[in-house]
Chain A
Amino acid sequence: MISFKDKIILVFRSFFLQSVFNYQSFQNIGFVFTIMPFLKKIFKDNESLKKSVKRHLEIFNTQPYMVGFVAGNVLKMESEKRDEKEIKNIKQALACAYASIGDRIFWSRLRVIVGEFTFFIFVILHLCCYKTGTVESVMVAIFVPTIFYSFYTVYIRYVGLDYSWKCGGTRNCALDSFNWNKMIRMMSRVSFFLTIILFIMTIFLYGFFYIDYGSKKEVLIYILILPIAFYIQRYFRRDKKNIFYPISAMILISIVMGLFL
């Protein structure tokens, strides 16, 4: 059986999953490092432990927060002394499935939501609550979303381990533990909504701090930047170019605009 202490150790070690990230086998060393204490518990003699460790040193790549879902399953199969090939196949299948889910939830959406919240908190504290100093606003703005995000990722690592240990040995193990599609849909909507608010807020602040001041020429240029930036981004996005292309184009346009100021 996997004890609470084992789970805590496994979750802690999973923080180092990508420490030796390499192009040959990706997270293999980190994965072995994560499950090592429990493997030592299962395999008492060095020879069988060595065999098992070597098996897990093969290529492995998943989303780091979702590693619990794979590790719990693998450890359950190892403890049941399942067939070597079966363990390998299920491990790879789950790693791919959870990588796809985790990337969409954490890297594509939640990371953005955290960034947007950081900005909102700063602006709200800085502009609305006059008693709060700017440095304090910055500190609250950076720490609050980060703490929430960190707790959530640790929770996912822990419950992943818990769920996958319970259903260990099956190809679709714990994939139904959460309604992933609903989560992804909801996060997309939240991110979209926050982006719109961020956009409106930025335009308001921009108008307040920049457009109201300066000479007529300056005001005109500052107003023109907005549609130009929008158009440049759309132009390069159509060709699926990364953000450095529109930024470089913006620098070139600014060089020309600078001549008129």
Chain B
Amino acid sequence: MKEIFLVILAGLLNLDNVSAFQFLVSRPSFAGAVIGYLSGYPVQGFLIGMLLELVILDFTPVGGVTIPNGTVAVIVSVLLLPKTNPYLAFFLGLIAGEGYSYVEKYLRGFRNRFNSICENMIERYDFNLWKVITLSMILDVIVFSIYSIISIYILSFVAIKLNTDYVFKVSKIALIGTVFITLTSLYFKFKTQVGKND
């Protein structure tokens, strides 16, 4: 029950990603810390979120491009923490986050239907677009929650199967390497930008 509550909370935070506000409360470090705090892993949640954020910062969400979803990644990672080590939880979360970018693409296509709904409303002189906005956001939260719950269920199974000493060592080395890969990526990205500006 607590997991469902946390998933819905993450779904609400995820609205900040694209649908509303864009105050960056959906970024993985923020969502990870909040969800981690509520599930008893505040620091692990934050650190996993921070690293997921470094990975996702490599992508730029311009022109309708869908990027890996950090909120999905972090909720999956944090809720997998009781079942596996944080290193493996990070990678499993990342897989879930990347998977959601395809769901988001589908959702954006699905939302094309809202255009005809809107046109029909306006034809009837109904200018109250709150209904469409609210409906779309509810749809977002529902899809997010269902996807996250399914991902957690499947990946928990994977995590339990992979809970060996060898996988622990491998995922730890891979995670350390990922930290340096993301930092190197950021370094060269900004080095190029500064070079261009000069």
Tell me, yes or no, whether B102 is within 8 Å of chain A by CB.
no
Give the chain A neighbours of B58 by CB distance below 8 A. Answer: 242-243
Tell me, yes or no, whether A89 is within 8 Å of chain B by CB.
no
Give the chain B neighbours of A115 by CB distance below 8 A. Answer: 27, 29, 50, 53-54, 57
In contact, A19 and B29 (Cβ under 8 angstroms): no
Interface-located stretch among B3-11, B77-85, B149-157, B170-178 = B170-178
Knowing A122-B46, A135-B37 touch, does A222 contact B133 (C-beta < 8 A)?
Answer: no
| B interface SS class | helix
Q: Which residue of A lies closest to B109 (CB)?
A: A23
Give the chain B neighbours of A16 by CB distance below 8 A. Answer: 19-20, 133
CA A244 – CA B93 in complex, angstroms? 13
Tell me, yes or no, whether A46 is within 8 Å of chain B by CB.
yes
- Determine how close the nearest CB of chain A comes to the CB of B99; give it in whole angstroms: 12
Residue-wise interface mask of B (174-189) relative to A, using a CB-CB cutoff of 8 A (1 in contact, 0 not): 1011111111111110
Which range contains the number of A residues in contact with the other chain? Answer: 35 or more
Residue-wise interface mask of B (103-130) relative to A, using a CB-CB cutoff of 8 A (1 in contact, 0 not): 0000011011011001100110101011
**What 15 additional pairs, Cβ within 8 angstroms, besides A22-B109, A142-B29, A258-B173?**
A25-B115, A53-B122, A61-B63, A111-B27, A118-B50, A150-B23, A195-B183, A226-B180, A232-B181, A243-B58, A243-B181, A243-B182, A247-B174, A247-B178, A257-B170
Report which A residues bind B (CB closer than 8 A): 15-16, 18-26, 28-30, 32-33, 36, 40, 46, 49-50, 53-54, 57, 61, 64-65, 99, 103, 107-109, 111-112, 114-115, 118-119, 122, 134-135, 138-139, 141-142, 146, 149-150, 153, 184-185, 188-189, 191-192, 195-196, 198-199, 202, 206, 210, 221-222, 225-226, 228-230, 232-234, 237, 242-244, 246-247, 250-251, 253-255, 257-258, 261
Report which B residues bind A (CB closer than 8 A): 18-25, 27, 29-30, 33-34, 37, 42-43, 46, 50, 53-55, 57-64, 91, 94, 98, 108-109, 111-112, 114-115, 118-119, 122-123, 125, 127, 129-130, 132-133, 136-137, 166, 169-171, 173-174, 176-188, 190-191, 193-194, 197
